[in-house]
Structure 1
Amino acid sequence: MRLSYFSFFTHSGAKDDPTDAIIQVEILQLHMDKLTVIRPDSEDVRCLAQLVEYRRKLVQERIDLTNKISTTLKNYYPHVIDWFKEKDTQIFCDFLLRWPYLALAKKARKQTLLDFFNQHNSRYPLVNEKRIKEIKDAEILTDDMAVITPNLLLIECLVLQHKQLMLAITRFDDEIKTLYRQHEDRVIFDSLPGAGPQLAPRLLAAMGSNRDRYSCAAEIQKYAGIAPVTERSGKKEWIHWRYSCTTFLRQTFVEWAGLSVRYSFWAKAYYRQQEAKGKPHNTIIRALAFKWIRILFRCWKTHTPYDESTYLTALKSKGSQLLKFAVGSEL
């Protein structure tokens, strides 16, 4: 229970743990009809929920670490950033550990570099030749050891952390995949456009396996923070972002809605329709997530995998303006 709920009792905003505890007891004693008992989900689903959330945090740490590495390289060795477009790879890390500054890389023989690339499954002759040429032609940014030495040490520390972080994410991926494949509802989440191997387990964990927890899609929309909040006072009315929600859950639905635009015909048409109305990207994606939750809730409740053609047929039978817009835009 959030402390802000107690502002009714302490208008000054004073904070006192014993007082808060007494208020909580009073609410439990007198207002149990306003509270809903949440039954814990199955052990597998709860474990999966923790795994996918921890994995997402590790991925964010990897992104932050990659940015730190790029920033450090710009101080003395920016060439590597161009030679390896993908930074979350073993070849990028191993190259930096073996040739941590340009002068050392320029001394390497062509065959040594080719062998290194081949050992890391980079078997693209044109790409490798281009890299080797750029290594030999590159000009040293600085030869000031007061700059190079500290950055060398920092790069070594950061790259070693990066390698361990990538291994950790792989271990999480394996554990998540094992748990997800064992769940009987995975056929539902595998059918969702854009979900893929990363988001499908997150969506399964978000919905859970207890079909009695939610009575309607609106409850999920509110709990996940997708549904906006409407406030009224007299003749005034305003709508704003929902602040009290599970951030990771909202992030899951929003990320899925964003990816669905690439794989779902109606989702792509909806995005273009709203874009034509001048709506910003984030607003469109949140609105799309709102719609997807209703569809997912129906599939989840009825144990039915999602089928795009079935949904498009339903839209057509209702005379949906969305389909008319999609056809018109293609013409």
Structure 2
Amino acid sequence: MKYAPPVLATEPTNGMTCGIDWAGRDHAVSIIDTRGREIHRSTIEHNAAGLRALLSLLDRRGVDEVAIERPDGPLVQALLAAEVTVVVISPNQLKNLRSRYGSAGNKDDRFDAFVLADTLRTDRTRLRPLVPDTAATTALRTACRARKDLIGHRVALANQLREHLNRAFPGAVGLFADIDSMISLSFLTRFDCQDRADWLTPTRLSTWLASIGYTGGMDPAVLHTRLITAPRGITGEHGAAHARITNALVTTLKALVEQIKTLSDQIAEQLAAHTDAHIFTSLPRSGTVRAAKLLAEIGDCRSRFPTPESLACLAGVAPSTRQSGPMRSVSFRWSCDKHLRDAITDFAADSRRANPWAADLYRRARANKHDHSHATRILARAWLYIIWHCWQDRVAYDPAKHRALQALLHDKPAA
């Protein structure tokens, strides 16, 4: 089944359109009539009373359509709940639209609200109403993005801990594979400075590792050798002062690791309950979190992407082409959904390790002198065409029906 994109009515209801310039504390509101005359301008506060006043204003003026710069947040939720049609005009578009009304191009919230309202009046054939995803998809997206943010904090804090240990206790840095692994954090909790580590012998280290259930497979004697051959750390009172910093960083890092695991478990539960889970978990090496990220960023509103090209462009994996006279250039697409691009390129980069078609497409891209990132985007674009069809038809990916893959496996050209 193919889904047609939602469209706006030929004329706005009652000839009225509204533009809202969103801000953190208050929002500029502009209402114009069918001739482009501003008939109302005001500012509303970003609180419950302000949102109620806005909805009351729109109802009194007979306004059913609002243009705004962002697709989410309490303001958008309130508008959608009141059955107001919301049209999203991105900040980049708004920046370019200002030049319609003057050459200065200065930023002014009230003027931007007017530009949004007037663009909604004049450019109706190009604009599309916002169709929100289901609550399940929105909640999954929120969890996935929160997990990604926590991982960013974990990486930053792990780097800070590593840099601190390089000065205070170098032996702990290279002892285990990852500084933020649970075994490393457990070790640093018990042996937070050089003085405490000096108490260890191969036998004592072996006993301690056994007491915490170490399963890394590394010989305790080898670990002890790493510890004593590393540069010595700071000892005495100065070392004790640094140990307190170590404890603070380790405690915070352990809390982050635990919360990331908790969020991962929550994401797994939400994904299992989602009606589209079978589509994304069927992809090669998609796993749980990766499948959840793909589902959350693509969403479940089929009408949002009527063609695979529209999905590829929003994901930033389709190149941007410029042409003027004989000059033609193809370049990286900067304007895109960064979360969606991260999700699809992460999946595509790893899919080549489990799918021969993906591996062959990546290899040929590298053979054409594309770097890793460019080759990954080429592969991601190809995957999006497959994912789009599976998504639209609500079916799982089946390698047996993937003609290009089967042709490669049987060494014959695809039909």
SS at match of 2:353: helix
Q: What residue number does 1:25 align with?
A: 117
Matches within 5 A, 1:1-331: 1-2=90-91, 3-9=94-100, 10-108=102-200, 110-123=202-215, 126-136=218-228, 140-143=232-235, 146=238, 148-312=239-403, 316=407
The 10-residue stretch of structure 1 (185-194 or 204-213) with the greater mean CA deviation from structure 2: 204-213
Task: Identify if the C-alpha distance between structure 1 residues 29 and 126 changes in structure 2 by more than 3 Å, giving closer, same or farther.
Answer: closer
User: Aligned partners of 1:307 and 1:190: how far apart in 2?
Assistant: 11
Q: CA deviation digits over 1:68-101, x for unaligned, max 9?
A: 1111111121111221112232221121121111
TM-superposed CA distance for 1:161, in Å, is: 0.9
Q: CA deviation digits over 1:120-160, x for unaligned, max 9?
A: 321456522321344355552444855x3553232222111
Q: TM-score if structure 1 supplies the norm length?
A: 0.89
The 10-residue stretch of structure 1 (7-16 or 154-163) with the greater mean CA deviation from structure 2: 7-16
Letter paired with 2:165? L
User: Aligned partners of 1:206 and 1:165: how far apart in 2?
Assistant: 24
Q: CA deviation digits over 1:265-322, x for unaligned, max 9?
A: 0111111112222221111001110100001001111122112232146763xxx8x9
- The structure having more radius of gyration, on CA atoms, is 2
SS at match of 1:196: coil
User: Aligned partners of 2:95 and 2:412: how far apart in 1?
Assistant: 47
User: Aligned partners of 2:277 and 2:217: how far apart in 1?
Assistant: 41
TM-superposed CA distance for 1:212, in Å, is: 2.2
Structure ranking higher in helix proportion: 1
User: Aligned partners of 2:217 and 2:371: how far apart in 1?
Assistant: 43
CA contact (8 A) 1:84 1:92 kept: yes
Letter paired with 2:209? F
TM-superposed CA distance for 1:103, in Å, is: 2.2
CA contact (8 A) 2:98 2:115 kept: no
SS at match of 1:108: coil
Q: TM-score if structure 2 supplies the norm length?
A: 0.72
CA contact (8 A) 2:268 2:289 kept: no
SS at match of 1:239: strand
User: Aligned partners of 1:129 and 1:314: how far apart in 2?
Assistant: 49
SS at match of 2:174: helix
TM-superposed CA distance for 1:175, in Å, is: 1.1
User: Aligned partners of 1:157 and 1:305: how far apart in 2?
Assistant: 47
Task: Identify if the C-alpha distance between structure 1 residues 71 and 151 changes in structure 2 by more than 3 Å, giving closer, same or farther.
Answer: same
The 10-residue stretch of structure 1 (233-242 or 158-167) with the greater mean CA deviation from structure 2: 233-242
Letter paired with 1:187? H
User: Aligned partners of 1:237 and 1:313: how far apart in 2?
Assistant: 31
SS at match of 1:226: coil
Letter paired with 1:159? V
TM-superposed CA distance for 1:192, in Å, is: 0.4
User: Aligned partners of 1:211 and 1:305: how far apart in 2?
Assistant: 16
User: Aligned partners of 1:124 and 1:240: how far apart in 2?
Assistant: 46
Task: Identify if the C-alpha distance between structure 1 residues 151 and 265 changes in structure 2 by more than 3 Å, giving closer, same or farther.
Answer: same
Task: Identify if the C-alpha distance between structure 1 residues 323 and 269 changes in structure 2 by more than 3 Å, giving closer, same or farther.
Answer: farther
